Amino acid sequence: MNNQFIASINRLFLSVLILTGLYSCIDPYDVNFNQENKILVVQGLLTNDIENPDTIKIQYSVYTNGYTRAKPAWPFDVYFYLINSKQKIELVQTGIGIFVPPPNFSIEPSEKYTLNFTLYDAEKGEQKYQSSPQQASITPPILNIHDSFNPQSRLSEDGKKFVSSNDVFIDFQDPASQKNYYLWRYIHFEKLEECITCYSSIYSPYTESCIPMPGSRQPYYDYTCMTMCYGIMKSDKVNVFSDLASDGRLITGKRVAQIPFYFVSGCLVEIQQMCISPDAYTFYKNLESQTQTNGGLADTPPTAIVGNISNITNPEEKIVGYFSVVNIQKKRHWIDRATATGERSNILGHVVVHDPSPMAPLATCKKSATRTPFKPEGWQ
C-alpha cells in the first residue's frame, strides 16, 4: 500500500472524527502524518432540542504504525459558561470523553455560550481549554420536502460505480437583508430484517451476544430479528450553503440527502436544518472540500482544520473541531420507493448469510444509537 494512499485514509479518518457527530478565525494547517502525532479533536452542538440533545465528544486522533485511530481523552470540569448571565452549567458524562447537557437544559436566543474543559498532561500538568463565544441564530422552518429516485445518485463505497438512491429535496424561505449560512444533516430509519452479525462466532439467545465457535469455516453469520426492529443511520457528509447569491429568496429544490436503495419497502427520513455562524460555515466548507472531492482517496486532503477551541494554558496547541450553538428546524418525510428499480445496496455491507443450523435462534433488537424496537414517529 503506497504512502499517499495511507496518508489519504488517515486524513479522511480525522475528518470522520469531526463529523461523527459536528472565534476569531479558521486556521487550516498541515498535519505531518509521516511522524507520530496526537491531535485533540472536539466536536459537538448545543441545540434547542431538549428531548434529544447532541453529544459533546472530546477525544484524540493518534497516528501510530502508519495508521490513525481514535484514542480516549479524559477531560474533567466540563461545562458551558453563559457569558451574559455569568452561569456555569456542568455537563453530564455518558461515556469516555462524551458529554450531554443536564436534563431539561434549554438555550436562550440572547445568551452567549462557551464550552470549557480541562485535561491533565503528564509533562505539562493541567491544560485548560475554551471555545469562542457562540450564540444561536434564528433558523427558518422547512416548508416542503420531496424525493426523487435517482438510479445513478452516488458513488459506491469502493468508488467503482454509481449506485441508486432517493434524493431528498427541501424548500425554505431565506430571511431577507441578512447573511445566512446553513448546515443540514439527517436521520434515516429503515426496517431491519437482520439484527446482528457474528464474525467467526454464533449468536447466543441467552447472552444476546456472539460467542466463539471453534473451527468455524464461515467468516460470519447474520441472525434474523425476533421482533420489529428499525435501523437508525445518520448523515456522514457535510452539506452547507450560503445565501450570498439568493438573499431573501424562496429556496426550492435544495438537495439535502441521498438515501440508499436498500429495500423495496419504504423508509423514513428526518431532515434537520440549522443556521450557523460565518466562521462555522468556513470550517464546515473546508471540511466538505477535504472529504467530498470527486477524485476520492487518491486526492490527499492537504490540511487538518483548526476550529474555535483553544488551549488557554498553552496557546500554541492546535485543536481540530468546532463547537456551535444552533437552533434546529426538523421535518420528517416518508419515502415510499414506488419508482425504485434495479440493483439494491446491502444495508449490512455484505451478502446476508444465515446460520444454517435447524434451530438457529432469532436475535433480540437491542435499543441503541443505531437501532430501536420502537416504531419511529411518522413511520407508515
Tell me the domains of the chain and their CATH numbers. 3-137+277-327 (2.60.40.3780), 142-198+220-273+332-372 (no CATH)
Beta strands at 113-121 and 76-82: parallel, antiparallel or unpaired = antiparallel
Q: What's the mean pLDDT in 119-146?
A: 96
Least confident of 19-33, 90-104, 136-150, 298-312: 19-33
Closest by Cα among 26, 67, 62 to 289: 26
The pLDDT of residue 37 = 72
For 60-100, the DSSP string reads EEEEETTEEEEEE---EEEEEEETTTTEEEEPEEEETTEEE
Could you give phi then psi for residue 33, rounded to 5 degrees?
Answer: -85, 10
The DSSP line for 111-162 is --EEEEEEEEETTTEEEEEEEPPB-PPP-PPEEEEEEEEEEEEEE-TTSSSE
303-328 mean pLDDT: 91
Confidence class of residue 292 from pLDDT cuts 50, 70 and 90? low
Highest mean pLDDT among 59-63, 259-263, 302-306: 259-263
Give the three cell numbers for residue 315: 496557546
- Quote the cell numbers at residue 350: 455484505
User: How does pLDDT run across 136-181, given as a tens digit for each residue?
Assistant: 999 999 999 999 999 998 887 777 888 999 999 999 999 999 999 9
Query: What long-range pairs does 35-40 form, CB within 8 A, spacing at least 24?
Result: 35/63, 36/63, 36/64, 37/61, 37/62, 37/63, 38/62, 38/63, 38/71, 39/14, 39/304, 39/318, 39/319, 39/320, 40/73, 40/119, 40/129, 40/309, 40/317, 40/319, 40/320
Residue 379 has pLDDT above 50, yes or no: yes
More confident: 7 or 225: 225
Cβ contacts of 85 within 8 Å, gap of 6 or more: 111
The predicted-structure confidence for 11-42, as pLDDT tens digits, reads as follows: 445 555 555 555 333 444 444 444 457 889 99
Q: Give Cα separations from 150 to 142, 269, 342 (angstroms).
A: 22, 16, 11
Average pLDDT over residues 49-63: 93
Rounded CA separation 138/161 (Å): 40
CA atoms within 13 A on the CB side of 55: 15
What is the share, in percent, of the chain residues with pLDDT greater than 90?
74
Q: What pLDDT score was predicted for residue 222?
A: 97
How far apart are the C-alpha atoms of 276 and 182, rounded to whole Å? 6
